[in-house]
Amino acid sequence: MAKNNGGKVIQMLSPENYIRKKARSLSIHECTINSGWKESGLANVSIARKHTNGNITSCFYLIDLLCLGVKDTHYIFNSSPQEYREQLNAIKEKTTLKHVDYALVHNIILAGIEFAEEFGFAPHKDYTSITQYMLEEDNEDIEFMEIECGKDGNPAYVRGPFDTETKMKQIISKLEKTAGKDNYTIITEDEDFEDYDNEFDEDEFDEEDEFTGMTLGEKKVLFLRLYASLEKYTTENSQQFISLVNSIVNDLIDKDLYDQYCDELYEELYVDISEDEIPAELLGLEPGDQAVSNELKIRFIDIYELIDKNLKSAKIEFNKLKEEVPQFPGTGFLEVQILQIEKPSRYAKRLKELILKYPNYQLMNVLWSTELLSNGKSESNLSGSSVNMCALYSGRTSIHPIERYFGLVLATFVIGSEINLNKIEALGSIIYDFNLSEKEEEALEYLISILKINYLLALFTINDK
């Protein structure tokens, strides 16, 4: 965001980037924790830092010390002391808070993360991308404290109030693999863990949107008027339009169907992810093909990641790789990724050539199905049907995050072809359960927003005829 000040352009940091880059330069104002955290195994903690103008930026963390680590986190940016106190009082109405030294909450957060990671559970995505930067650097300046995690040293899962049946099954399945049978506990509701369910009530931190009080008819008129002028929008106006779209969608969806689709889609799209290994299938290799070195696999990943950051450098590295391994299927995938940015008009033709050359390359087939659906081609046999991630990558026990992302892109187009608003909204909700990168989330958010806009446009236009 830029602001003009007497002819000078001042670069303004977004709240998220401010926290990432500058939060640690602010002095600690106070830290709080729920009084029963040791008994319940659930720590509801906050860290508040004070700006030079007296305002407060605070981050809140829900730490499951029994199993899952950082379950939830959010922030309040640059609020007045009064506003900050009101937010804290809202939490105090549900649980007893006490003020503690920073070192304690620091150790609790990191201990919870470390314990959860032993069993394959990553911290909440907003911790990774934003609120971890509210913590001090983890060095010898911070007093180390031993924090007890788990139950008798083993993970203990308690189903939270927002955990669906599907999500619960996925957590237990992961514990079976990582902890092993009989090495974890499922805590039932009748056990003495009442404080466990004190999850954040997001409604306490949600403000009413600017369209509250408008009828659906009034929102429709505004939607059509804003849509007609979309190309003239500033960033601020575009955000207002998206807020209006989401407000209308909230008016239209059926909550029961939405919940049903959330469960169904999560079950269809969930698959174990291989974070540390680069499977041969990602590179288009089949059983019986000559094995490739880890160095070549790493170069493949490096070039893929470089394409978005520096296309010129990516092309140089790509050409080197292609010279060294000219018949390597993975270079075809990298080639079309480059083409999609540099020469999009040639993308589909080259992709079709590569599908004929490497018909069993699963990731390439996912790209081809997506291309057909995105252009409304009837050749795709996926239109109007579910996408099962395990079926897309059949014969695999786990897939790479790159494969998952492109599978989710395909699922987005498949669901878009069904013209089902409840399902579109459900997909928009569950993508945050997959710990995607910020870039991947933004890309999927954009596609899902387009689906919502097209749905509303068709609905309102048809109704006018």
* 27-34 vs 185-187, strand pairing mode: unpaired
Residue 178 contacts by C-beta under 8 Å, 6 or more apart in sequence?
118, 119, 120
> For residue 442, what are the domain limits?
280-464
Give me the pLDDT at residue 143, please. 93
Residue 328 falls within a domain, yes or no? yes
Instruction: Please give the tally of structural domains in the chain.
Output: 2
My answer on whether 173 and 65 are in the same domain is yes
Give me the pLDDT at residue 237, please. 63
Residue 335 falls within a domain, yes or no? yes
Give me the pLDDT at residue 207, please. 45
My answer on whether 175 and 59 are in the same domain is yes
DSSP state, residue 148 = -
Q: Amino acid letter at 419?
A: I
Residue 274 falls within a domain, yes or no? no
Instruction: Check if the beta carbon of residue 108 is closer than 8 Å to that of residue 147.
Output: yes
My answer on whether 309 and 435 are in the same domain is yes
My answer on whether 294 and 160 are in the same domain is no
Residue 160 contacts by C-beta under 8 Å, 6 or more apart in sequence?
71, 196, 197, 199
Residue 138 falls within a domain, yes or no? yes
Residue 435 falls within a domain, yes or no? yes
My answer on whether 314 and 195 are in the same domain is no
Boundary (domain end) residue, out of 156, 172, 203:
203
Listed in sequence order, the DSSP H helices in 23-80 are 37-40
Residue 328 contacts by C-beta under 8 Å, 6 or more apart in sequence?
283, 284, 292, 296, 321, 322
My answer on whether 329 and 417 are in the same domain is yes
- HSE of 460, CA atoms in CB hemisphere, 13 A: 21
DSSP state, residue 152 = T
Boundary (domain end) residue, out of 203, 221, 249:
203
Boundary (domain end) residue, out of 203, 224, 247:
203
My answer on whether 334 and 193 are in the same domain is no
Q: Encode the chain (465 residues) as per-residue pLDDT tens digits.
A: 343 434 333 334 578 878 888 899 999 999 999 988 998 999 999 999 999 888 999 999 999 999 999 999 999 988 888 888 888 888 888 888 899 999 999 999 999 999 999 999 999 888 988 899 999 999 989 999 999 999 988 999 988 777 777 778 888 888 998 999 889 998 865 444 444 444 555 444 444 557 878 899 999 999 998 888 876 655 556 777 888 998 999 899 998 898 889 888 988 998 888 777 899 999 999 887 888 899 999 999 999 999 999 999 999 999 999 999 988 999 999 999 999 999 999 999 999 999 999 999 999 999 999 999 988 765 555 544 568 898 999 988 889 999 999 999 999 999 999 989 999 999 988 887 787 887 888 899 899 999 999 999 999 987 555
My answer on whether 194 and 288 are in the same domain is no
Query: Edge-to-edge, what's the strand order for the sheet holding 42-50?
Result: 69-79, 56-64, 42-50, 27-34, 97-100
Instruction: Check if the beta carbon of residue 377 is closer than 8 Å to that of residue 355.
Output: no
Residue 403 falls within a domain, yes or no? yes
The C-alpha R_g of the chain, in whole angstroms, comes to: 25
Give me the pLDDT at residue 315, please. 95
Residue 336 falls within a domain, yes or no? yes
Of 340, 334, 343, give the one whose Cα is nearest residue 364: 334
My answer on whether 183 and 321 are in the same domain is no
Residue 36 contacts by C-beta under 8 Å, 6 or more apart in sequence?
95, 96, 195
Residue 150 falls within a domain, yes or no? yes
